[in-house]
Amino acid sequence: MRRFPMLSLLLVLLCGPAQAQTQAHAQGFNSEAGAIDVIEIAHGLEHPWSLAFLPDGRMLVTERPGRLRIVTQAGAVSAPLSGVPTVYARGQGGLLDVVLAPDFAQSRRIYFCYGEPRGDTNGTTIAHARLGDSGISDVTAIFRQQPGMDSRHHFGCRLVFANDGTLYATLGERNKGRAQAQTLDNDLGKVIRIRADGTIPDDNPFVGRKGARPEIWSYGHRNAQGAVLHPVSGELWMHEHGPKGGDEINIARAGRNYGWPVITYGREYSGLAVGDGRSAAEGMEQPLHYWVPSIAPSGMAFYTGERFKAWRGNLFVGSLKFGQLARLELDGDTVVHDERLLDGIKRRIRDVRMGPDGYLYLLTDEADGRILRVGLAQGS
């Protein structure tokens, strides 16, 4: 492990560890709750996308080109695990989210989503597999987003197990299919809810409706790359990328329409209005919070630990665009304060997880991707 940024290494040599820590904080890693400590756990990961903690504290990490690795708390990175299926690793596609099954301790089962090549098209696919010491086995695809498209964009995808054991997945509208985010005969721009074996729960909102896919939970989404259960309500909180501005935080509720591309607080990348420029419409949900300009959000975690009481109940969101960590204070379902942490870190934050030790863990999306451990410094 090494303290971040690299300037600290020089300060250790010149001044000793205690002064190096002080200087690292002086470089801008401060917050309203005090100085922030950032420790690099590991590096050398190629565009890591998702992190899941194993029961023994090791981390299961996906790399977007199609590799799955195990990383120890000491920073040792395993060789790529065998058994990962072929992925469509172009544009925003690749090996994406990974989570443990609720019964992982007994089943050793993991769930992951990835861009799957499908001849002339591709799409987001969800699979489960059994994790072994050096690879995964019994890989089974349980869901394939329909339709497949010839697109390199907007795959989603975050996986979240609900308290009842069902599985939510966020699916992008693939950019070319943006209008289909408003129709129910496809999986583009949707949150879906399935059972752990891929079958459909009977109480999904569109079960039995003619012309609607029964796996759909909510619709009108653009490209959601962050999702987490609220620690009290158990509802699915998510965020999604807007175009130029208009990134949103929403609570994905059964059968609700979240508006894309009819309403948005963003604009086209050209600067023109999206559609007729509306930001509200009857029958479409308003976001809990939105960002203009866009922060390009990815990764999302509620802080529920005891280690840093000043952060309890806060929601943390990574920023790809600005290389920041957004700390959101909440009053019920209302965002009342947005503080930007790690300003100046200059690394694309792809995933945000709370570790079993009460620290936050971040993945940085780059050719030499890092795992960073973040917490309030001693005495803050």
Tokens of 333: 């379902």
In a domain, 255, yes or no: yes
In a domain, 198, yes or no: yes
Active site residue 154: yes
In a domain, 27, yes or no: no
**What pLDDT does 379 receive?**
64
Give the number of domains in the chain.
1
In a domain, 127, yes or no: yes
**What pLDDT does 344 receive?**
86
Q: Which domain holds residue 246?
A: 32-376
Q: Report yes or no: 215 and 142 within 8 Å, Cβ to Cβ.
A: no
Q: What are phi and psi of 274, to 5 degrees?
A: -85, 125
Q: Is 34 left (phi over 0), alpha (psi -120 to 50) or beta?
A: left
Q: Report yes or no: 154 and 184 within 8 Å, Cβ to Cβ.
A: no
**What pLDDT does 9 receive?**
33
Domain CATH number, residue 44: 2.120.10.30
Q: Which of 154, 239, 241, 289 is catalytic?
A: 154
Query: What is the DSSP annotation of 247-309?
Result: EEEEEE-TT-B--TTTS-S-B-TTSPBSTT--S--TTSPPPSEEESS---EEEEEE---SS-G
In a domain, 11, yes or no: no
In a domain, 1, yes or no: no
Instruction: Tell me the residue length of the chain.
Output: 380
CB atoms within 10 A of CB 106: 8
Torsion of CA 237, 242, 247, 251, to 10 degrees: -20
Count H helices, E strands: the chain? 3, 25
In a domain, 7, yes or no: no
**What pLDDT does 264 receive?**
98
In a domain, 17, yes or no: no
Low-confidence ranges of the chain (pLDDT < 50): 4-28
